[in-house]
């Protein structure tokens, strides 16, 4: 069994493919290099149903996320997530992505990054194809 790589997320960026079945998610981590994964639309829609909505009007946004370029889309070693498991922790959420060709990736997002992720996925949900709907 592959052990999970754990990253404390500083900021993140997301981009949708032209077909509408994937989001490229790029995490900037504290003390580590950026990491990118492809997240299928089915996982995005599941997360949208389960991520908490921010209730704090004073929540500060995270720093700007890493840039997503065409190189990220074309890079052959970017893994694809099959599933995600979430665990709510005090003031943050841990997400473990089961990946196709690399060790599982666990990212720990603070409340501002969780809300940023939720807002970006909500904005892209109009472009994604929900095959389970």
Contact between 109 and 118 (Cβ < 8 Å) = no
The upper half-sphere exposure of residue 114, i.e. CA atoms within 13 Å in the direction of its Cβ, equals: 23
Contact between 61 and 113 (Cβ < 8 Å) = no
For residue 93, the model assigns a pLDDT of 94
**Using 50, 70 and 90 to split pLDDT, how confident is the model at 108?**
very high
- Rounded to an integer, the average pLDDT of 56-65 is 90
Whether the predicted pLDDT of 103 surpasses 70:
yes
């Amino acid at each position: 069994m592959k052990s999970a790589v754990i990253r404390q997320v500083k900021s993140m960026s997301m981009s949708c493919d032209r077909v509408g079945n994937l989001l490229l998610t790029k995490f900037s981590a504290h003390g580590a290099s950026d990491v990118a994964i492809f997240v299928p639309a089915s996982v995005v829609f599941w997360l949208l149903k389960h991520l908490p909505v921010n209730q704090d009007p004073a929540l500060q946004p995270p720093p700007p996320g890493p840039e997503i370029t065409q190189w990220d889309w074309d890079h052959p070693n970017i893994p694809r997530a099959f599933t995600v498991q979430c665990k709510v922790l005090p003031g943050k959420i841990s997400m473990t992505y089961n990946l196709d060709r690399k060790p599982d990736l666990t990212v720990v997002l603070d409340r501002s990054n969780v809300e940023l992720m939720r807002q970006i996925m909500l904005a892209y949900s109009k472009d994604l194809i929900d095959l389970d709907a």
